[in-house]
Structure 1
Amino acid sequence: MKAEFDPVTLATPFFILSIILEIVLARMGKAQARYEAKDTAVSLGMGLGSTVAGVFTAGLIFAATVWVYEHRLFTIPMTAIWAWVAIFLLEDLTYYVFHRVSHERRFWWASHVNHHSSQHYNLSTALRQTWTGGVAGTWLLWLPLAWLGFPPAMIAIQKGISLVYQYWIHTEAIRRLPRWFEAVFNTPSHHRVHHARNPLYLDKNYAGILIIWDRMFGTFQPELDEEPCRYGLVKNMATFNILRVAFHEWAGIVQDVVRHPRHALGYIFGPPGWSHDGSRETSAMIKARAAEAPAQPAGAIREAA
């Protein structure tokens, strides 16, 4: 029950060529894109490492999906058009849930944080993927699709399509698309907001392909011209050490649990930034503090960025 084709594998040459093209166009002044050699190397290294790490958990994930499928409620044919429409919507909703949980709970943020660690936003950033996603178990969220009756191959194909779609939205070269497209689909503008560390933009726009989920569940934020995106983490890492990029939040969890074992559950499953004594700030605290601060002139905001 293997996928007929892997969209990500097929798109890999396009990923490489498009990154090269974006760099060339930026050097020529034809496109807005910022690249830094060490930063790009980390992104590419994280992408390669993610592929290697996935090999070690692929068997478990595939076996679990097949087992659940064998106990399915219905048998959904891969040849039916309605089935592909259904899997498109349900898989995209699943991605939204996964992405939101990965930002709101520290255990899963530890696996996802590396994707947000670059202070640049370009096509190579899309390849800065986790090495620990399989261990974190976020793949469990997709098992209900197999239980409903979608074949594992169908689920894998749609997940691949979603990942390929999300690649091209990691760019500053595309500013705005037609309003109807921006209203329905995730776009570079929407995803720039998601990668921004501005208080206004924190924990917004979790969409995979369809931005409608964010609009429905109250997590949508448009990109504002008067609020330029500042990328990276709330506290950026001053290193290009790929091992620290991949594992620093896991190490932080271990340190916090060892120091404060009575509050272990909070440090593991609380929101990122949670602390038992309130000495650190969560996204909600940062947003609340920013909302209370007096507004800055647009020029001052741009200068700070």
Structure 2
Amino acid sequence: MPNFPNIILYAIPFFIVAMLLELYATTRENYKAVKGYEPKDAFSSIAMGLGNVILGFGSKALVLLALFWVYDNFRIFTIPIEWWSFILIFFADDFSYYWFHRISHECRLFWASHVVHHSSQHYNLSTALRQTWSGGFYTFIFWLWLPLLGFHPAMILLQMSISLLYQFWIHTEAIDKMPSWFEAVFNTPSHHRVHHGSNPIYLDRNHAGILIIWDKIFNTFQPEIKEEKVVYGLVKNINTYNPIKIAFIEWWYMFRDAFLGKKSIKERFNYLIKPPGWRHDGQGKISSDLRTEWLSSKEQKTS
């Protein structure tokens, strides 16, 4: 077992310093348009992050067991831990992250844990810490093909941590745009602000981890529009600072929709696998419906 450090724990002091610097910067005259921090919201995000770290000790054990089970029993190749294999796993992990993230917006079972990260109506570095308490126990399935190929589980966990670290700095309004070449290839604050928007045109766009190229390849990319200021949060906000509610309220809503009331077995199952907003009676609207309506209204205004 390679002895890679737990870089997330080492990064905690950096997180704190970065948030303090952002808080200072956004109070300056040049940043009056930036919302900055709302104490209750920020403390909720930090509480979610701490809970994620604590529960992570249990989920990481489960993830390691699953990765090693596949690696020890089913791997097709054995990829050595060399400099070039870290390049391969960088792209493989980022590809896995894209599909995990995209499915987490398109399937309610995965949305139930991921919605936590979108529940804040503010956007700053503390929002990056607003992490799931439940997702770590089952979303790892999107990475099981990596040990099957022959990547060592320790390498996989290290690269997953690197990806998570990278995504911390993009949760800010204090940075407008990066250089054009950087914006073209990498995920940036501008791209990720779009992802956190509840505006119909921004819904379920920009699922990138580190590389924005996946969104461009799979047609989920949306640039930030200067005239369409991002409205952060959910289509229907949960309006609570209670960490317990933030962590589990969507699970309750999903199971209530799936198991209560008069519905067929297929309809009940669909509440678990269909996108958020889907209703068995046809009265619901998913993100693509809302986007289509928004684009249609824009066309009518300009015609």
Q: TM-score if structure 1 supplies the norm length? A: 0.93
Counterpart of 1:155, as a letter, is I
| 1:27-70 deviations in Å (ceiling 9; x for gaps) | 23354452101100110000011111222222221111111111
Partner of 2:163: 162
| 1:271-305 deviations in Å (ceiling 9; x for gaps) | 101001122211111112212224699xxxxxxxx
Q: Is residue 115–residue 250 contact of structure 2 (8 Å, CA) maintained in 1? A: yes
Residue 200 of structure 1, CA deviation? 0.7
Residue 261 of structure 1, CA deviation? 4.2
Matches within 5 A, 1:46-125: 46-71=48-73, 72-79=75-82, 81-125=83-127
Residue 2 of structure 1, CA deviation? 5.1
In structure 2, how many angstroms separate the alpha carbons of the residues matched to 1:105 and 1:3? Answer: 36
Partner of 1:283: 287
**Identity %, equivalent residues:** 51
Residue 266 of structure 1, CA deviation? 1.1
Asked if residue 20 in structure 1 is aligned to residue 14 in structure 2, the reply is no
Partner of 2:235: 234
In structure 2, how many angstroms separate the alpha carbons of the residues matched to 1:283 and 1:51? Answer: 31
Counterpart among 269, 272, 278 of residue 273 in structure 2? 269
Partner of 1:217: 218
In structure 2, how many angstroms separate the alpha carbons of the residues matched to 1:39 and 1:6? Answer: 27
Counterpart of 1:59, as a letter, is A
Counterpart of 2:288, as a letter, is A
Length, aligned pairs only? 296
In structure 2, how many angstroms separate the alpha carbons of the residues matched to 1:156 and 1:238? Answer: 34
Partner of 1:302: none
Q: 1:200 to 1:66 in 2, by over 3 A?
A: same
Q: Is residue 23–residue 33 contact of structure 1 (8 Å, CA) maintained in 2? A: no
In structure 2, how many angstroms separate the alpha carbons of the residues matched to 1:55 and 1:74? Answer: 29
Q: Is residue 193–residue 205 contact of structure 1 (8 Å, CA) maintained in 2? A: yes
Q: 1:147 to 1:204 in 2, by over 3 A?
A: same
Q: 1:185 to 1:294 in 2, by over 3 A?
A: closer
Partner of 1:248: 249
Q: Is residue 39–residue 240 contact of structure 1 (8 Å, CA) maintained in 2? A: yes
Asked if residue 131 in structure 1 is aligned to residue 129 in structure 2, the reply is no
CA-based RMSD: 1.6
Partner of 1:34: 36
Residue 4 of structure 1, CA deviation? 1.1
Q: Is residue 93–residue 213 contact of structure 1 (8 Å, CA) maintained in 2? A: yes
Q: Is residue 27–residue 36 contact of structure 2 (8 Å, CA) maintained in 1? A: no
| 1:183-239 deviations in Å (ceiling 9; x for gaps) | 000000000000001111111000000000000000001111111111000011222
Structure 1 unaligned segments of length 5 or more: list them: 298-305
Counterpart of 1:110, as a letter, is A
Counterpart of 1:73, as a letter, is I
Residue 82 of structure 1, CA deviation? 1.8
| 1:96-118 deviations in Å (ceiling 9; x for gaps) | 00000000000000000010010
In structure 2, how many angstroms separate the alpha carbons of the residues matched to 1:25 and 1:294? Answer: 36
In structure 1, how many angstroms separate the alpha carbons of the residues matched to 2:130 and 2:85? Answer: 32
